[in-house]
């Protein structure tokens, strides 16, 4: 491995410049205006893979394109599907960024930019490791397929359409995804559980237009008042969701798992200090890690109504809307949750208010078996690259495609996070440690070697 | 009066062009960007009054200027102070206007523009009537003072500073204000009661910045969740405000007044159709007119939090805010209400959330005596101009200066509304009937005559 390791060492600068190039493309999949930029980012990834000698396709969809590329198959070796995404979240609120979100800036050893950790930086670690193998060994000990999409942040619609019809092309023994976090600095983790999500937008409408709140207030239903009343019903003062049936399919947390989590070096005081909050809050009867990883939650993601400008406007708004989402645990069915929610809202919607509920993206949660040989290979590769064994954790975020891969390809997924949970994912000043970028590339390079020791299934 | 009446008839076109000129100036007092336009509108009013031969001042303040003008005093005749305002509400939501808000457009006999009825059109009726008197009779039977301000829509701060120190300049026997509505088309009204208002902006803050709702959701307090929980506490399911002490100073509605209101030709079905709502809502135990006119109310005027753009963003917002207001009835003290509100919020603010409450403008409600000779003079003038006697109503809107005039000048106020309650005041497509504009000018001209028959006080 000496030649490979020298290559990784000598190309640190090249790998970083590569990352900065991709981060400069504002590939915001939620914005229709950013459509050409999203395409440019997809094209960039495809060009990079083609340039490494991979058989590559930029697959058009009715949304943003999917990049597919592969190395030759290897007799008796397993096939790995590397999944990632080149799209990013919107950069709002812009005013809170210390440097422009699409001008990657290095501060304190981190690259700061939208998409740095989610997922451009993490995704590229696998691209660079394959490049290193090809440039030094000339071939890989396993077959690697890349599937890099451009709609992860808006629900992966095109990929979910593509997947069921292309199971032969995508067939693999295991999926590898780096889109999660380490447990802490220098504490790499394998994430074996993810929450699901069910995201909605609720719009309440009252009178045909905004009214004077003096002339009509108190006599005509106010959609903003109604919105707060409806949303306040979602959770009781114990932090428990009040939608009938919401907890029906939740599997209680096992004592063993609670003990594992309790043994992790999680410093709640530091956690609060970092967030600048003087108290934590959540479902009564659970620890902070349990709330984050294994209990379903409800969060309002956005509120909009009436006058939001400077000063005061005495208006009775014609409409009010909220974006909100439930984070679901494995075995909760988002479709059942959506139906229960709709019934709950209809039951409680007050007179004089019309209700519209849009179901945005949703996916169930997953748990990966810790007994898989692929998990063991990953643990060894990480141990070698990070010089300590990984911890095994769960995560509150959602990676809906993990469920889809299990469903359509029958594959386990290795969630190997190189990020940190203070990377400001989805927030201003998103960052990614450059040291972890390089360790991630190294761990990925070792992973191909470790996976090569496993005989192909069957 | 024949000469005067001929003048009014012959100058209809001139009066309308005058109004359109003023409506073209986007004098939005809430917008700091519109500052030059607000000044331009004040200057326009001052120029018009100067041109009529009145002794006029454009008084600078630390906010927007106040226009003051007067005719000579008249021995033994009363002095009338005409109050109005040349500033307007913001035109949002812009997309709902059928013609640009600051390009006055005549449709169905109405002029459509921001400020048409509130208050440029109504205020100008008194300017035009004085102009008609001076152009025909050459002088007025009473002294008239004009006090036209530019901050009515944002709380009249400059005027409230000016008033206590200029009681000699502003001394009068009665104030006349046209900034209210008729009871219906062809049903002129004298409004004898106004609600007060207490307007607030509540901002809740959680973590130092927006967070990923998957990684942190359910464990870190969500200000948007907390905002809905807090605001939902304000009103129970009977439509009653739940802030302790809120109703302590509310005088119960008299049976006589309830009977008067019930006798008015108020068509609830038509009211609902006009607003395009299928039900009305409000405090249990009161009719729609009672809710609008004599019961205190609570309305959220604006909600802001998190991601409000296109698509979905899985963010746990760092802050959430609401603009809201209580409409108060006479005898409720806004200062006491603000203190009770603050205590209520502090009591119920959840852990992990910081609370900031800004007190915006507030003023108590007022009721004017129906026995005043000035009220009788106004009723006669209106009867002559509109060819039917006015009805006596109350109004849910606030005109805080009415309270200030009573406090500092000791004067009754005549609220003579020429508008209609479907004029879309504060909303898109604000309008004012040109027929009512001309009837208002005529009623105003008669009012000066009727008031001239009253001997000066004392």
What confidence score (pLDDT) does residue A42 get? 98
Average pLDDT, chain B: 94
Residue B456 is predicted with a pLDDT of 62
Q: Yes or no: say if B312 and A400 are a contact pair by the CB < 8 Å rule.
A: no
Distance from CA of B339 to the nearest CA of A (A): 20
CB pair distance less than 8 Å for A429 and B307: no
| Model pTM score | 0.76
Q: Is B2-194+366-452 assigned to CATH 3.40.630.10?
A: yes
Residue of B nearest to A365 (CA): B214
Q: Is the pLDDT assigned to residue B1 strictly greater than 60?
A: no
Q: What CATH number labels A2-193+365-452? A: 3.40.630.10
Three-state SS sequence of chain B: CHHHHHHHHHCHHHHHHHHHHHHCCCCECCCHHHHHHHHHHHHHHHHHHHHCCCEEEEECCCCCCEEEEECCCCCCCCEEEEEEECCECCCCCHHHCCCCCCCCEEECCEEECCCHHHHHHHHHHHHHHHHHHHHHCCCCCCEEEEEEECCHHHCCHHHHHHHHHCHHHHCCCEEEECCCECCECCECEEEEEECEEEEEEEEEECCCCCEEHHHHCCCCCCHHHHHHHHHHCCECCCCCECCCCCCCCCCCCCHHHHHHHHHCCCCHHHHHHHHCCCCCCCCCCCCHHHHHHCCCEEEEEEEEEECCCCCCCCEECCEEEEEEEEEECCCCCHHHHHHHHHHHHHHHCCCCCEEEEEEEEEECCEECCCCCHHHHHHHHHHHHHHCCCCEEEEECCCCHHHHHHHHHHCCEEEEEECECCCCCCCCCCCEEEHHHHHHHHHHHHHHHHHHHCCCCCC
Mean local confidence (pLDDT), A154-174: 95
- Domain boundaries, given as residue ranges, for chain B: 2-194+366-452, 196-250+296-363
Residue A427, C-beta contacts closer than 8 angstroms, at least 6 positions apart: A96, B209, B210, B211, B212, B315
- pLDDT tens by residue, B243-288: 999 999 999 888 878 988 998 999 999 999 999 999 999 999 999 9
pLDDT at A366 over 90: no
Cα A196 from Cα A48, distance rounded (Å): 32
Q: Which of B194, B216, B192, B195 is nearest to B206 (CA)?
A: B216
pLDDT digits (tens, 9 = 90+) for B40-68: 999 999 999 999 999 999 999 999 999 99
**CA-nearest residue of chain A to B316?**
A301
What's the CATH number of domain B196-250+296-363, 1.10.220.110, 3.30.70.360, 2.40.50.140, 3.40.50.150?
Answer: 3.30.70.360
Which residue of chain A comes nearest to B241, CA vs CA? A218
Residues linked to residue B395 through DSSP beta bridges, in sequence order: B194
Task: Quickly state the pLDDT bin for B414 (edges 50, 70, 90).
Answer: very high
Among chain B residues, CA nearest to A325: B314
Question: pLDDT per residue over A255-292, tens digit each?
Answer: 878 988 998 999 999 999 999 999 999 999 999 999 99
Structure token digits, residue A233: 């019903």
The reply to whether residue B231 touches residue A228, judged by beta carbons under 8 angstroms, is yes
Distance from CA of A338 to the nearest CA of B (A): 16
- Spell out which residues of chain B touch residue A398, defining contact as CB-CB under 8 Å: 214, 314
Task: Say how many CA atoms lie within 13 Å of A354 toward its Cβ.
Answer: 10
Separation between Cα atoms, residue B21 and residue B9, nearest integer Å: 20
pLDDT tens column, A374-400: 999 999 999 999 999 999 899 898 777
Which residue of A155, A313, A425 is in closest CB contact with B215? A425
Residue B458's pLDDT is 42
How many Cβ contacts (< 8 angstroms) between chains A and B?
361
Can you tell me the mean pLDDT for B356-366? 91
Question: Which residues in chain A are contacts of B317 at CB distance < 8 A?
Answer: 300-302
* Cβ within 8 Å, pair A310-B32: yes
* pLDDT tens by residue, A13-30: 999 999 999 999 999 999
The whole-number average pLDDT for the span A436-455 is 96
């Amino acid at each position: 491995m000496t030649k490979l390791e020298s290559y990784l060492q000598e190309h640190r600068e090249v790998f970083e410049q590569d990352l900065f190039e991709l981060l400069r493309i504002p590939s915001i999949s939620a914005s229709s205006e950013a459509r050409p930029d999203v395409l440019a980012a997809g094209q960039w990834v495809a060009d990079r893979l083609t340039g490494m000698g991979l058989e590559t396709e930029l697959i058009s969809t009715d949304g943003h394109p999917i990049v597919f590329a592969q190395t030759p198959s290897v007799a008796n070796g397993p096939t790995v599907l590397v999944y990632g995404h080149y799209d990013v979240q919107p950069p709002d609120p812009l005013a809170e960024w210390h440097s422009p979100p699409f001008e990657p800036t290095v501060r304190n050893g981190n690259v700061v930019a939208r998409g740095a950790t989610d997922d451009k930086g993490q995704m590229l670690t696998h691209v660079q490791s394959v490049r290193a193998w090809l440039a030094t060994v000339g071939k890989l000990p396993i077959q690697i397929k890349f599937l890099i999409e451009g709609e992860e942040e808006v629900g992966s619609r095109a990929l979910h359409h593509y997947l069921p019809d292309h199971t032969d092309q995508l067939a693999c023994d295991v999926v590898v995804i780096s889109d999660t976090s380490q447990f802490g600095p220098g504490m790499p983790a394998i994430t074996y559980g993810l929450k699901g999500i069910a995201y909605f937008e609720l719009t309440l409408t009252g009178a045909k237009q905004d009214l004077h709140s003096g002339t009509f207030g108190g006599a005509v239903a106010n959609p903003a008042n109604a919105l707060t009343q409806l949303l306040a019903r979602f959770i009781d003062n114990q932090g428990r969701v009040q939608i009938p049936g919401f907890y029906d399919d939740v599997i209680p947390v096992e004592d063993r798992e609670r003990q594992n989590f309790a043994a992790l070096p999680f410093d709640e005081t530091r956690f609060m200090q970092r967030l600048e909050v003087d108290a934590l809050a959540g479902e009564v009867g659970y620890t902070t890690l349990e709330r984050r990883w294994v209990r379903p939650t409800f969060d309002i993601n956005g509120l909009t109504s009436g006058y939001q400008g400077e000063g005061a406007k005495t208006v009775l708004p014609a409409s009010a809307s909220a974006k909100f989402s439930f984070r679901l645990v494995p075995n909760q069915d988002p479709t059942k949750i959506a139906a229960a929610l709709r019934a709950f809202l209809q039951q409680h919607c007050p007179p004089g208010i019309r209700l519209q509920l849009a179901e945005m993206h949703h996916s169930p949660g997953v748990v990966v078996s810790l007994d898989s040989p692929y998990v063991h290979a990953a643990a060894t590769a990480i141990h070698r690259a990070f010089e300590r064994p990984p911890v095994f954790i769960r995560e509150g975020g959602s990676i809906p495609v993990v469920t889809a891969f299990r469903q359509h390809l029958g594959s386990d997924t290795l969630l190997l996070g190189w990020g940190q949970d203070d990377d400001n994912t989805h927030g201003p000043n998103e960052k990614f440690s450059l040291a972890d970028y390089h360790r991630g590339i190294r761990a990925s390079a070792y992973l191909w070697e470790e996976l090569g020791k496993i005989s192909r299934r069957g």
